[in-house]
Amino acid sequence: MGLVPSTPDAAPRPLAGRSVALIHEWFEAAGGSEQVFLNMAELVPHADRFVLWKDEDAPADREFHESWMAKTPLRRSKALALPLMPLTWRTLTRKKYDYVISSSHAFAHTVKIGDPEQTRHLSYVHSPARYVWIPELDQRGANPMLAPMRAVLQAGDKRLSRHVHSYAANSREVQARIRRFWGRDARVINPPVDVDYFTDAPPEVRDQDRRYLLGVGRWIPYKNFDLMIEIAAAARLPLVIAGGGPEEENLRRLAARVDVPVEFEMRPTKERLRELYWGALALLYPAVEDFGMIAVEAQACGTPVVGWARGGLLETVVSEETGFLLDAPDPTAYADAIRRVSSLSAEATVTNAQRFTTQAFQANMAAWLAEQE
């Protein structure tokens, strides 16, 4: 599960006195990869921060240098912007840095600033671009018409990242993808989760009756929120769907067809999300996730996870102890597992989440960076 956590406050800041550029794809305020990027920025506070573009609700107290794409309609269409991203990362700035650290889930790891002989390029990878390399897991790239473009993007993705000196992966699942697709080794550093915040809820939140199933995340096809509605119907239990995204209309239509209550929580605050976790009988996660920070947040609240036995959940959930992981996305099988969640220990579930704290991430990241000096 990565490196052994230590106390980051006792050590000096990594890369102090060195010029550093921090790179992230595009900044969407509510995303898990953005949480990683902000934690990286806290660890190296003197670094310049670059993104392709940022949402209007990005943190106002942080300075972000945006690319030329931010001034074009491309910022509203990732699919159209995708072929131009590698070129953009190669023409981002003329400023030179001692270190360039990318937070990558598309092409940010191909960024090239300065002379590779003088600049050390490091990349923290959330996943090689799913819609380019594994479209079977992400329908956004599954159209057969896109196959020729995928082949071109795959070749460019691999060729344009040869200058990266060291990779870190957010999970063993992603570590294996990096080895498979790029032929490179990577160090596993699990992402930061604010475990203490979710565990240390006020008494009125902790004392709720657990009475509904919960789904959390972006409402996009590969997250399988439609399947969650089927699972709730099979289990004969209410469902709360928290988040937002392009699938909203379709999900509301599906929800109207089942005979169990389905409630939509639009873009809940962190505080409201903690309340939802504590009131849930179980978190549903029938998707293949790269890591799955949401699953850790739920466990930090003592909420078991019922999900698919693939991807990052194999690393964050202990099946039969902190949840149940199933071999197939079958609603009936999920309903059967949900009936058994009362046998699981909430204390063990919370303890499991403690492996993925913000403190552990920063200690492990600091150790990785120190080795590059």
CATH 3.40.50.2000 fits 195-355, yes or no: yes
What pLDDT, on the 0 to 100 scale, is given for residue 142?
Answer: 56
The residue behind tokens 């600091």 is: 366
Q: By the 8 A CB rule, do 177 and 133 touch?
A: yes
What pLDDT, on the 0 to 100 scale, is given for residue 341?
Answer: 97
Give the integer Cα–Cα distance in Å for 165 and 214.
41
What pLDDT, on the 0 to 100 scale, is given for residue 9?
Answer: 47
- Under CATH, which number does the domain 8-192+357-371 receive? 3.40.50.2000
Report the side by side order of strands in the sheet with 99-104: 65-66, 48-51, 20-24, 99-104, 120-125, 166-169, 187-188
Write the DSSP string, 331-343.
HHHHHHHHTTGGG
- Single out the residue of 193, 145, 150 nearest to residue 357, CA to CA: 193
The pLDDT tens digits for 73-82 are 988 888 788 8
Q: What angle do CA 88, 93, 98 make, to 5 degrees?
A: 120
Give the integer Cα–Cα distance in Å for 292 and 313.
7
- Single out the residue of 38, 70, 31, 67 nearest to residue 220, CA to CA: 31
Give the integer Cα–Cα distance in Å for 365 and 35.
14
- Single out the residue of 230, 217, 212, 40 nearest to residue 124, CA to CA: 40
Q: By the 8 A CB rule, do 242 and 216 touch?
A: yes
- Single out the residue of 349, 291, 274 nearest to residue 318, CA to CA: 349
What pLDDT, on the 0 to 100 scale, is given for residue 10?
Answer: 47
The segment(s) of the chain belonging to CATH 3.40.50.2000 are 8-192+357-371, 195-355
The residue behind tokens 């929800």 is: 255
Q: By the 8 A CB rule, do 33 and 126 touch?
A: yes
- How distant, in Å, are the alpha carbons of 22, 50, 366 from that of 41? 7, 11, 12
Single-letter residue type at 82: L
Q: By the 8 A CB rule, do 65 and 85 touch?
A: no
What pLDDT, on the 0 to 100 scale, is given for residue 265?
Answer: 97
Give the integer Cα–Cα distance in Å for 373 and 121.
12
The pLDDT tens digits for 245-271 are 999 999 999 999 999 999 999 999 999
Rounded to a whole number of angstroms, the distance between the first and last alpha carbons of the chain is 24
pLDDT beneath 70: ranges in the chain: 1-12, 29-30, 57, 59-62, 138-146
Give the integer Cα–Cα distance in Å for 29 and 47.
20
What pLDDT, on the 0 to 100 scale, is given for residue 117?
Answer: 82
Q: By the 8 A CB rule, do 106 and 82 touch?
A: yes
pTM: 0.90
What single-letter DSSP state applies at residue 53? -
Q: By the 8 A CB rule, do 219 and 243 touch?
A: yes
Give the integer Cα–Cα distance in Å for 353 and 351.
5
Q: Is 186 left (phi over 0), alpha (psi -120 to 50) or beta?
A: beta
What pLDDT, on the 0 to 100 scale, is given for residue 115?
Answer: 82
